Amino acid sequence: MIDFLRGQVAHLENDYIVLDVQGVGYRVFCPNPYAFAKSERAVTVYTHHHVREDAILLFGFSTREEQQLFRKLIEVSGIGPKVALGILGGGTPAHVVSAIYQENITFLTKLPGIGKKTAQRMILDLKDKLDGIGSAAMDTGLFAPPQAVEEGEVSYWSEAREALKALGYTDAELDKAWAKMKKDTSPDDSVDILMKRALQMLFAG
């Protein structure tokens, strides 16, 4: 079992990074690959080593909390690794865990790949199994309950903005990215879509 890797990001795609670890390139699928683009130094990527009959895959995360939540999510019937990545791309661990505790079906069904039945199953299966995940954000006062999504694009961008700020981007950088992408943004674009689009612009400068 590979628990984490440390190296430099050699290549980026929309759904994965290639991490150079002492001359060996590991393809690691991530919720938001461009989140690793800001660092020019070696980065630590916490991983989940997924083995199935036709493939051996690595999934990577910037924090232990993301790694832990991913492993809990794939235990839920109907949620595979790709859907779990989409969930983590669409909301921070604190927000996802809070939505499960609060039985917030509206928030959960706005995450990529999650319908009402799967959201109900997440609540039923995970509500008593998430102790400690998301608690760091709550303890530091950075936690905010999931916002209703009926407010449209402002709510989606607000969620995406907070997640991007947690990655180290400044208000000025985010305002600049939003000014460029706002005109092409639909009210139906998810947090995951907005984050990936913003990270691509931030990466390109």
pTM for the structure as a whole: 0.70
d(CA 23, CA 7): 9
Averaged pLDDT of the chain: 82
Residue 177, domain extent: 150-204
Is 69 in the same domain as 129?
yes
Q: Identify each DSSP E strand in the chain by its residue range.
A: 4-12, 16-21, 24-29, 43-52, 55-61
Could you give the CA distance from residue 9 to residue 18 in angstroms, rounded to a whole number?
6
Residue 181 placed within a domain = yes
Higher local confidence (pLDDT), 73 or 32: 73
pLDDT tens, position by position, 116-135: 999 999 999 998 888 778 65
What does the pLDDT look like over 30-56, one tens digit per residue? 988 877 865 678 899 999 999 888 889
Q: What is the pLDDT of residue 154?
A: 45
Question: Of 136, 164, 186, which closes a domain?
Answer: 136
Look at strands 43-52 and 24-29 and give their pairing. Answer: unpaired
- The answer as to whether 143 is a domain residue is no
Residue 8, pLDDT above cutoff 70: yes
* 53 in the same domain as 69: no
Tokens 């950088």 sit on residue: 173
pLDDT recorded at residue 39: 63
Residue 41 belongs to a domain with what CATH number? 2.40.50.140
Q: Tell me the C-alpha distance between 4 and 47, whole Å.
A: 5
100 and 87 within one domain: yes
Hey, which residues does 5 pair with through a beta bridge?
A: 45
